[in-house]
Amino acid sequence: MISFPKAKINIGLRVVEKRTDGFHNIETIFYPVALSDALEFVVQQGKAKEDELVITGMDINTRPDKNLVTRAVKRLRLKYQVPPLKIHLHKAIPAGAGLGGGSSDASYMIRSINKCFRLDMTDDEMMEAALDMGSDCPFFLNPIPSSGSGRGEILKPVDAVLEGYYIVLLNPGFIISTKEAYHNCIPAKRSKRLEELFKEPVKTWKKTIVNDFEDFVFKVYPVVGELKRSLYRSGAVYSSMTGSGSTVYGLYSDKPSIKGKLRDYLIYEGLI
C-alpha cells in the first residue's frame, strides 16, 4: 500500500499555558500543503520476524528503529495483529523543520495499516494512537485546514481561505529543538482567539497573527528572521515561521519570482 504524507504549516502559533503533565496548551491553525513524502509497505515474505524500513530521499539522520513510522507500527501491535512489514519511506519533507513530516508519516502509517488489514479502528482509537506519537499527529489523520487547541489534538475544521494562493517554503538546513523552543517561550493568554483573527482578510495577518517561537528563534538563529524579511521584500502578503522552525513560508496572491541566494533555501513552491 502506498500513501503520500503531506506537510503542514502553522498559521499563528500561541503558547497559552504550561500543563501539569509537562506539555503546553496552544492555539494554532494547521493548514496542509502539497509538499509530501512517499510511504509504501508490503508484508514481509518468508520467516522474517522484524519490520524492515528503508529511507531514501532527504537525509533525516534518524535510525530506522527510532523513526516514527516503525514506532507507529509497534504502537498498533499492542492491540492488533500486524504482520512484519517491509517499508519504504521516501523523504521530501525535511526533519525538524516545523512542517510535521515525521508526524505525518506516522499518522498516514496508522491510517494505511487500519485500511490494509481491516482493523476497523474507530476514529477515537486512531486519534489515541496518533497522539501517542506526537501532539500534531492527530491533524494528519484527516489533514484539512483546522484550528488546533489543547496540545494540538483538539481539532475544528476552518474555511480553506488560502485556495488560489501561492506558497514558498524556505529552509536554512538546520534543525531547531522543539524542547528548547518551548523552554524559551513565555506562555500567555490573549483576549482575542486566533481563530477569530484567521477569519480576517489575509492581508491583515501581518499585523495580527504571530508565531510565539519567532522571538527566541530569530535571536538565536538570525538567518531564519532574515528569510522571513526577504519573503516580505519579494512581495509576500503574509510570512511566518512554521511550528518551532526552522522553515519559513510566504503566501502570495500570484506566483513570485524567487531569485538569487533565496533559491539556495527553497524547498517547495506552488499553489497551496
The grid cell for 246 is: 526552522
**Residue 136 annotated as catalytic:** yes
Same domain, 147 and 267: no
Q: What is the CATH number of the domain that holds 250?
A: 3.30.70.890
Other C-beta atoms lying within 10 Å of the C-beta of residue 63: 9
Q: Last residue of a domain, which of 157, 177, 204?
A: 157
**Residue 59 annotated as catalytic:** no
pTM: 0.95
Catalytic residue among 37, 136, 212, 228: 136
Same domain, 70 and 199: no
Q: Considering its fold, how many domains does the chain have in total?
A: 2
Question: Is the Cβ–Cβ distance between 200 and 208 less than 8 Å?
Answer: yes
Residue 105 has a pLDDT of 98
Catalytic residue among 8, 51, 105, 212: 8
Same domain, 111 and 176: no
Same domain, 184 and 235: yes
Residue 3 has a pLDDT of 98
Q: Last residue of a domain, which of 157, 180, 203?
A: 157
Q: CA nearest 246: which of 136, 115, 108, 93?
A: 93
Question: Is the Cβ–Cβ distance between 70 and 37 less than 8 Å?
Answer: no
Same domain, 179 and 80: no
Supply the range of the domain harboring residue 82.
2-157
Same domain, 137 and 250: no
Same domain, 239 and 131: no
Same domain, 12 and 141: yes
The torsion angles phi and psi of 2, rounded to 5 degrees, stand at -125, 145
Query: Residue 10: enclosing H or E segment and its boundaries?
Result: strand 6-18
Q: CA nearest 136: which of 267, 13, 271, 259?
A: 13
- Tell me 265's DSSP state: G
Same domain, 137 and 223: no
71 Rama sector, left if φ>0, alpha if ψ -120 to 50, beta otherwise = alpha
The torsion angles phi and psi of 225, rounded to 5 degrees, stand at -65, -35
Cα-Cα-Cα-Cα torsion 143, 196, 201, 100, nearest 10 degrees, comes to -30
Q: What is the CATH number of the domain that holds 88?
A: 3.30.230.10
Residue numbers of the chain with a pLDDT score lower than 70: none
Residue 59 has a pLDDT of 86
Residue 53 has a pLDDT of 96
